[in-house]
């Protein structure tokens, strides 16, 4: 089974809210909320992939990212390696450029959203900071 390398962005605003995007229902883990990001392409660093994906998916221009953590997670049908970065600076107004719903959620309320299983350690980490 192929391991998919994914750059994930924890985008925080001034109100200690984090940006979430809803996965389209036809995709793996569809209909669940996630931290935005996407696949790292050949020749890209995780940070470069994240900057590109956030521009393409949620219309944000990322100024700086810093590594937060990494997670390897095996689903029955696919393996993912999540390279999670905190987005420290950005400009633009978040919107779902691919038709997906996006929202800003309070960090202390993240457990109220339905996330893919692989995201649980990210939520744990954010709530312990």
Give binding residues as ranges: 23, 28, 34-37, 57, 119
H/E run at residue 47: helix 46-58
CA-atom Rg of the chain in angstroms = 14
Measured CA to CA, the distance from residue 31 to residue 120 in angstroms comes to 16
Binding-site residue positions for Mg(2+): 37, 57
Binding-site residue positions for 8-oxo-dGTP: 23, 28, 34-37, 119
Would you say 5 and 119 are in contact if contact means Cβ atoms under 8 Å apart?
A: no
């Amino acid at each position: 089974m192929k391991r998919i390398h994914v750059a994930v962005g924890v985008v925080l605003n001034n109100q200690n809210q984090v940006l979430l995007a809803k996965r389209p229902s036809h995709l793996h883990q569809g209909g669940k909320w996630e931290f935005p990001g996407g696949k790292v392409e050949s020749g890209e660093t995780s940070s470069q992939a994240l900057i590109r994906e956030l521009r393409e998916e949620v219309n944000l221009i990322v100024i700086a990212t810093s590594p937060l953590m990494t997670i390897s997670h095996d689903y029955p049908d696919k393996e993912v390696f999540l390279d999670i970065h905190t987005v420290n600076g950005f400009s633009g107004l978040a919107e779902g450029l691919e038709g997906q719903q996006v929202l800003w959620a309070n960090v202390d309320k993240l457990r109220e959203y339905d996330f893919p299983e692989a995201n649980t350690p990210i939520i744990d980490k954010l709530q312990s900071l």
